[in-house]
Amino acid sequence: MPASTRDRVVEAAVRMTSDVGWSKVTMARLADVVGVSRQTVYNEIGTKAGLAEAMVQRELERFLAVVTVAFDEHPGELVEAIRHSARGVLEHAQDNPLLHAVVSATHGADTELLPLLTTNSESLLVAAKAVVADRITPYDIGLEAASLDAAIDMVVRVVLSHVMQPSGTPAATADDIAWIAERVLRA
């Protein structure tokens, strides 16, 4: 199935942001790259802020697909599912050109995207926690709902922190996250 115009615009914006920076992304340039009118780009995306949100949402869906696969591959082993989902997310982050462009932006308007991943990241957190909570449902954990919510929040925030600022290899970091999760889940 061919990509929708919206998907083509978002993909072009990701490539352009990765190649030349967010400040150089304009609706007119996107229209030229995609081969549509500027009005079509506006009709599909709305504003540049809407475009930024669409780009981040697209990448979030890709990251959460990694989590889903890891949980599917470890149906009876929650800690292993957490380990493999954290490792997969961190490996995906390591090679993600959009994430690299956003995190490494250090000047002018190119820093506009950073708050979508940091200070204004509530929608990212809500979506990630919802996916993890859904994936954890089949496991017999034995924690009260509030404690389980806190454990999920902790794991998601630690992984996202390492996505934004890695401190080790994805494998070593995932092992550390799994170790912490295992202790929390046993409590």
The pLDDT of residue 173:
98
Please check whether residue 19 lies inside any domain of the structure: no
pLDDT at position 8 is 95
pLDDT score for 117: 61
Structure tokens at 61: 């869906």
Q: Give the residue numbers spanning the domain of 109.
A: 49-186
Burial of 78 from C-beta contacts in 10 A (0-12 / 13-18 / 19+): buried
- Cα angle 159, 63, 145; round to 5: 55
pLDDT score for 119: 52
Instruction: Output the pLDDT for position 29.
Output: 95
Q: 159 lies in a domain?
A: yes
Asked if residue 10 belongs to a domain, the reply is: no
> Does some domain include residue 11?
no
**CA-CA-CA-CA torsion for 108, 114, 119, 122, nearest 10 degrees?**
140
Residue 82 lies in a domain: yes
Phi-psi region of 157 (alpha: psi -120 to 50; beta: other; left: phi over 0): alpha
Q: Is residue 7 part of a domain?
A: no
**Residue 22 lies inside a defined structural domain of this protein:** no
Check if the beta carbon of residue 117 is closer than 8 Å to that of residue 77: no
The number of domains in the chain is: 1
Q: Which positions of the chain have pLDDT values less than 50?
A: 106-109
**98 domain residue, yes or no:** yes
